[in-house]
Chains A and B, each alone.
Chain A
Amino acid sequence: MTISPERGWHADDALLAAYVAGRTRPPVTASVEMHLLGCATCRAGIAALVDADPLRGVWDRVVDEVQSPQPGPVERVAAHVGLSGRDALLVAAAPAVRGAWLLGLLVCLLFSILAATQGAPQGSTLFLVVAPLVPVAAVAFAYGQDVDPLWETTLAAPYSPLRLVLLRSVSVVAVALPLALVAAPVLPGPPWVAGAWLLPAAACCALTLALSTWVDVGRAALGVGGVWASAVVAVAGPLGRAVQVLDAPVLPAYLILAVAASAVFWLRCDRLSLLGRTS
């Protein structure tokens, strides 16, 4: 027992040893704990009594964590909505979330909005061609040999390709849709048309995913995009009445197509794991 000028008393080694071993009675434990908060000497006394090996292990982990790279903004958002760290990393590594891709998308939409507001009939045609293909492009860029820097890693990882495709598609669509929605209100026609284009968008998306179980997802997206674009242009005709592709009788057809394609994708999704290996 020693006396220090500012704290008065110190716990002796026997008491500290009893505390470390969990042998002190509750009031004594509480006293020691309160005392330790303010007394560096007794804290040092404890340090001498504690097994240092486990603490070294914890320190190594602290250093690892402190020195590991900080998660980027995308990963942080993804973690915020409840994705695990691993999922967040894979989503963030999707090429589609990169700035260049978003910028391209933005410019594309901007042009079609401009054209539509100028009253040019081709404007709404352009919008109707582009807007539903935005999520298709998103899906195409979500997973694939050509666009993914992590492609080999992803292939080798014990990670469901289905989960990866869906995760990335959803994340990319979540980014792309608000942009496209901004453009919708300038469309000519009744107000519900502004949202109606989401149906063909869903159909195109599901179709791309379904086709991607046969061919490379990029080709699937190109094919679906090409068919959609020519269909819109054909319907529009010289008068530019492209809004007809969103006529009420046609809309259920998109819904049926979307459901059917999703079913095909769901049934054949195990083929995804073969992508890029055989071709």
Chain B
Amino acid sequence: MEAPETTDAELVRALSGGDLGALRALYDRHAPWLSVRLRRRCSDPDVVADALQDCFVAVWKESGRWRGEGEVAAWIWGIAVRRLISRLRAGERGAARLVVRRPVEAATPAVAAEPSAEELVLLGIEYGGLGDALDRLSPEMRAVVEATVLDGLTSKEAAQLLGIPQNTVKTRLHRAKAQLRQDLAGGVT
């Protein structure tokens, strides 16, 4: 791994001095993966582009809010997904917003049917048996787990992202946790 000449943290600190070049560098590093990940949360490319724009404007204006701990990438993602939620709320594009990610074996057998060694390794590192259990959840429950657990959203924010009532988020999360617990308990031994 070749180390970048300036770290993300240094770039964020340079923002408070009004360094547009630092923002450009951050954008070049983070906008691509952010755009891909946002597209997984919202199918409308225009809304994603707006959210990405809002995100980097917010990074520019609120760089002082970064506490200097942890990954800059995680901090920016937290901003980006919340900007996406505000854009979705402003646009009220309820019907188009949610991309429910279903298993895609049929479409891409090569990737999905036989996980590569790399995939297994990634799964092993990050989740262990959780990955398979996650896979067995219904798309609705999985979307809730992803929004709350992986994206770190509150149940209110998750409800706004997914376009469902907050209570539904809570019930689905509750059920999903129960199912995961059961799956993991049964699958480990």
Q: Which residues of A contact B (CB under 8 A)?
A: 1-2, 4-5, 7-12, 14-15, 18-20, 22-38, 40-41, 43-44, 46-47, 49-50, 52, 54-55, 57-59, 61-63, 65-67
Contacts and interface: CB of A to CB of B under 8 A. Distances in A.
B71 interface: yes
Contacts of B104: 23, 25
Interface residues of B, number: 58
A8 to B, nearest CB: 6
B146 interface: yes
Given A27-B123, A28-B123, A31-B127, A47 B23 contact: no
Contacts of B39: 22
Given A4-B1, A15-B118, A44-B29, A34 B49 contact: no
Interface string B30-42: 1111011101100
A36 B36 CA distance: 11
A46 B33 contact: yes
A9 B150 contact: no
A237 B34 CA distance: 76
Interface in B56-86: 56-57, 60-61, 71, 73-74, 77
Q: Of residues A5, A26, A29, which shows the largest number of chain B Cβ atoms within 10 Å of its Cβ? A: A26
B53 A58 contact: yes
Contact of A18 (B28, B111, B126, B146): B111
Contact of A55 (B35, B71, B146): B35
Interface in B138-175: 142, 146, 150
Contacts of B112: 23-25
Contacts of A5: 1
Interface of B: 1-2, 4, 8, 20, 23-24, 27-33, 35-37, 39-40, 45, 49, 52-53, 56-57, 60-61, 71, 73-74, 77, 101, 103-105, 107-108, 111-112, 115-119, 121-123, 125-127, 130-132, 134-135, 142, 146, 150
A12 B53 contact: no
Contacts of B20: 63, 66-67
B153 to A, nearest CB: 14
B32 to A, nearest CB: 4
A23 B36 CA distance: 12
10 contacts: A24-B111, A25-B111, A26-B142, A30-B126, A33-B40, A34-B126, A36-B33, A47-B33, A62-B53, A65-B57
4 tightest A-B contacts by CB?
Answer: A27-B131, A47-B32, A50-B32, A4-B1
B146 A30 contact: yes
A59 B146 CA distance: 28
A58 B31 contact: yes
A61 B115 CA distance: 40
Contact of B52 (A7, A58, A67): A58
Contact of A31 (B107, B116, B126): B126
A14 B39 CA distance: 19
B134 A27 contact: yes
Contacts of A66: 20, 23, 57, 60-61
Contacts of B116: 12, 14-15
